[in-house]
Amino acid sequence: MFSGTEQEIRDRIRQSKDLLELVKTLESQEKYIDSEIFKIQKGFIFVSLYSSLEFTLVSVVGRYLELLKQQPKKPMEYRKYLLCTILNANLSSVRDCSKKNLWSRKADLFDSLFSDEEALIDESIIPTDGINISHKQVQDVWKFFHLSGDPLPTGVDGLLLNEIKEHRNGIAHGRKKALDVGARYTTNTLMEKERAVEGLCFHILETFKSSFENKEYLKVSAA
């Protein structure tokens, strides 16, 4: 069900591991210890770690919704916060319509909510505020999909996610130099961060897989 997505996640994680191998190679050569290229490579580890995290969250959510779309149910059969995603188009229509059409759009929303027709699921929706992935976005996804367990696995701190986001954005948008970011971290510290991100990526994947297999997206009465 998620095999293609899992392979793509592994590919992103391997990029970070390959970058770390390069960093370790440079570190083993005395002439590179204080070089700019060594520090720059360490800084770019954060860009790679962020890409793994964002890809995992977006692609796993997308695949989960694709699977729900293949086995659609009536809207009222789903758990309540899932309706925020499933009825996103209706909710947006109410928000964006003119005052003239407001009550008509409200009626359309409730017609869809209580409809006996199968829900039309848009797999491109992800229930976050649209800002770069950090701890809050992971928490939001856990809430709106009614996922079991904690959003972060043991050993992963929310501060780490925010740290990765801030460094990635700083480098990507030119506010920070990869050289300056990389100079602050040892190779061993970066390896610890990579392992934590890898653990989080597979935690997200496995939690969604379990949710789908156990039909945790349905109300108890509809399961």
Q: Where are the domains of the chain?
A: 3-72+129-222, 73-120
Instruction: Report whether pLDDT(221) > 70.
Output: no
Q: What is the pLDDT of residues 183-219, one digit of tens each?
A: 999 999 999 999 999 999 999 999 999 999 999 999 9
Q: Determine phi and psi for 216, rounding to 5 degrees.
A: -75, -5
Listing DSSP states for 78-116 in one string gives: B-TTHHHHHTHHHHHHHHHS-GGGHHHHHHHHHHHHT-S
Is the distance from CB of 99 to CB of 129 less than 8 angstroms?
no
Q: Determine phi and psi for 148, rounding to 5 degrees.
A: -80, 155
Is the distance from CB of 194 to CB of 171 less than 8 angstroms?
no
DSSP 8-state code for residue 23: H
Give me the chain's average pLDDT, please: 95
Longest dimension (CA), the chain: 72
Query: What is the SS3 assignment for 146?
Result: coil
Write down the pLDDT at residue 27.
93
Instruction: Report whether pLDDT(163) > 60.
Output: yes
Write down the pLDDT at residue 129.
82
What value does the mean pLDDT take over residues 4-18? 97
Q: What percentage of the chain has pLDDT greater than the value 70? A: 99
Write down the pLDDT at residue 223.
44
Q: Residues near 55 by Cβ (< 8 Å), separated by ≥ 6?
A: 8, 9, 12
Q: Would you state the structure tokens that stand for residue 221, as one six-digit string? A: 């009465």
DSSP H helix total and E strand total for the chain? 9, 0
Element (H, E) at 181: helix 178-182
Give the pLDDT band (50/70/90) at residue 128. Answer: confident
Q: Tokens 């229509």 identify what position? A: 93
* 196: nearest Cα among 158, 155, 159: 155
Q: What is the pLDDT of residues 78-104, one digit of tens each?
A: 999 999 999 999 999 999 999 999 999
* 52: nearest Cα among 130, 160, 212, 189: 160
Instruction: Report whether pLDDT(51) > 60.
Output: yes
Residue 94 to residue 77: CA distance in whole angstroms: 22
Write down the pLDDT at residue 220.
77
pTM for the full model? 0.93
Chain centroid to Cα 35, Å, comes to 34
